[in-house]
């Protein structure tokens, strides 16, 4: 016999609302960290702190814009493709980048974190 629909109790709704508020706060903080990083890097400054993989995924800025220092080629890399430690910095993803033009002899440099690939 199918179970009867049961309306959630008040405490379950309160818990759901509290969980949604925590998730929204985490997303705002992650977005602030990513925007601060992008502003520093685009101004030519030195990045003293790198956002984590989790911050990039939560803020929905999961595309790494990577430039090759030797030939100037710019490529996009999606952080969602390969599973990585969420507490690691996004810099760890640069290990997987090889420039297609100069066959990986150039040094990859992270230019920005983007919500979508550049076309």
Q: Give per-10-residue mean pLDDT for the chain (119 aa).
A: 69 88 93 91 86 92 90 89 91 86 82 87
CA dist., res. 77 & res. 116, Å (int): 10
- Measured at the alpha carbon of residue 69, what is the angle toward residues 116 and 92, in degrees to the nearest 5? 60
The pLDDT, as a whole number, for residue 46 is 83
The pLDDT, as a whole number, for residue 55 is 92
The pLDDT, as a whole number, for residue 19 is 94
The pLDDT, as a whole number, for residue 8 is 65
Q: Are 72 and 111 in contact (CB under 8 A)?
A: no
Q: Are 77 and 64 in contact (CB under 8 A)?
A: yes
Contact residues for 52 (Cβ-Cβ < 8 A; gap 6+)? 86, 87, 88, 89, 90
Q: Are 37 and 51 in contact (CB under 8 A)?
A: yes
């Amino acid at each position: 016999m199918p179970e009867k629909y049961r309306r959630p109790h008040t405490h379950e709704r309160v818990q759901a609302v509290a969980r949604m508020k925590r998730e929204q706060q985490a997303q705002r903080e992650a977005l602030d960290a990513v925007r601060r990083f992008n502003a520093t890097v685009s101004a030519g400054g030195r990045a003293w702190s790198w956002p984590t993989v989790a911050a990039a995924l939560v803020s929905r800025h999961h595309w790494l814009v990577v430039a090759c220092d030797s030939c100037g080629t710019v490529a996009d890399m999606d952080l969602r493709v390969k599973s990585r430690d969420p507490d690691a910095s996004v810099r760890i993803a640069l290990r997987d980048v090889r420039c297609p033009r100069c066959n990986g002899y150039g040094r990859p440099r992270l230019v920005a974190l983007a919500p979508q690939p550049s076309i």
